[in-house]
Amino acid sequence: MGKIILTADRPSGRLHLGHYIGSLLNRVDLQNQHKQYVMIADVQALTDNFDTPDKIRSSVYELAYDYLAVGIDPKKTTIFIQSQIPEIAELTIYFLNLVNLGRLERNPTVKAEIRQKNFGDVIPVGFLCYPISQSADIATFQAELIPVGEDQIPMIEQANEIVRRFNGIYNTDCLKESKPLLSKTPRLVGIDGQAKASKSLGNAIFLSDEPNVIKEKVFSMFTDPDHIRASDPGKVEGNVVFTYLDAFHPDKGEVEDLKAKYRRGGLGDTVVKGILNDVLQNLLTPIHEKRFSLKRDHIFDVLRTGINEAKLAAARTMVQVRTAMGVNYSDKE
Ligand code: TRP
């Protein structure tokens, strides 16, 4: 059945509309054609949040709720928690030998994150090495396709480099190279018009936001600062309300009509915001209802089952890895 797919999120908060169009919808779709693993990457989240473990722990559960609420089906998708699969950590240790420091420091995604997080000269080794751990995630599950945004391409390149080195040095073909499956949707802007919606910037609409919070956020959206009176002609480009209508309104024709009217003048911000609010409430109400109908015990069950399935797959890979490296010491030798 299809290919082996691995995707993951760092549990450092709840998921928002950017995740919804960027990856969640895609996962709901992919689970019907492929063997899909969705990993809650708590170990990776700890690399830059090691001093706030409670936040990571509670976010692990938030993520699980979000996944089920949007329709990721645990009967089709294996949902699991990274830290609960020690095989990944084991493979990471072996992979550390196959990468040099200069290569890690050249990773553009890591470079950008280091700048953004103001680590200065005190970069935790665990953080610098997370691409190696991520390579181990991918290799452990023999994943063939990795649905990601562009920023993750260097991670997959790193993973493939390691796989080739591993197979070459240990004279095996037990590890497989993987390919990115690029998301077609561009990154969703934040409600403040900043480049991207993110938890840390506080400019995102979360899937679990209450209806009144959603409304408040919609009505505080950045529009066209020169569009003062409803009768003024307005700009649609860079206007967050229209970006969100493009992304979420089910009727594209109606969005085009609204744009034309707004450009001409005669359509007030409050009216368009009201329309967007309706669209988002319609989209998020069923997700909300599903989320709050989920029992905690069910979430635990889903995670336990997912972890068990993931362990089986990981164990299969590690038998091959240990055999290739000769780190299997049994009395039969
Ligand atoms: N780095 C990814 C992110 O920040 C999360 C991740 C961890 C991941 N391990 C992975 C993604 C393995 C794909 C495959 O979104």
Q: What tens-digit pLDDT sequence spans the chain (333 residues)?
A: 799 999 999 999 899 999 999 999 999 999 999 999 999 999 999 999 999 999 999 999 999 999 999 999 999 999 999 999 999 999 999 999 999 999 999 999 998 888 888 787 788 999 999 999 999 999 999 999 999 988 899 999 999 999 999 999 999 999 999 999 998 888 899 999 987 777 777 899 999 999 999 999 999 999 999 999 999 999 999 999 999 999 999 999 999 999 999 999 999 999 999 999 999 999 999 999 999 999 999 999 999 999 999 999 999 999 999 999 999 997 665
- From the CA of 219, how far away is ligand 1's center (Å)? 33
Do 92 and 125 touch, CB atoms closer than 8 A? no
pTM: 0.94
Q: SS3 helix, strand, coil % of the chain, rounded to 5?
A: 55, 10, 35
Do 207 and 196 touch, CB atoms closer than 8 A? no
Do 48 and 1 touch, CB atoms closer than 8 A? no
d(CA 92, CA 41): 14
**Candidate from 5, 9, 196 with most ligand 1 atoms within 8 A of CB, to mutate:** 9
Q: At 133, give phi and psi (nearest 5°).
A: -65, -40
Cα angle 148-82-93, degrees, rounded to a multiple of 5: 95
Residue 209 Cβ < 6 Å to ligand 1: no
- From the CA of 37, how far away is ligand 1's center (Å)? 12
Domains by residue range for the chain, with CATH: 4-188+296-325 (3.40.50.620), 211-291 (1.10.240.10)
d(CA 63, CA 70): 11
Question: How many angstroms separate the Cα of 89 from the Cα of each of 37, 44, 82?
Answer: 17, 11, 9
Cα torsion through 288, 6, 115, 89, rounded to 10: 110
Residue 7 Cβ < 6 Å to ligand 1: yes
The H or E element containing residue 38 is: strand 35-40
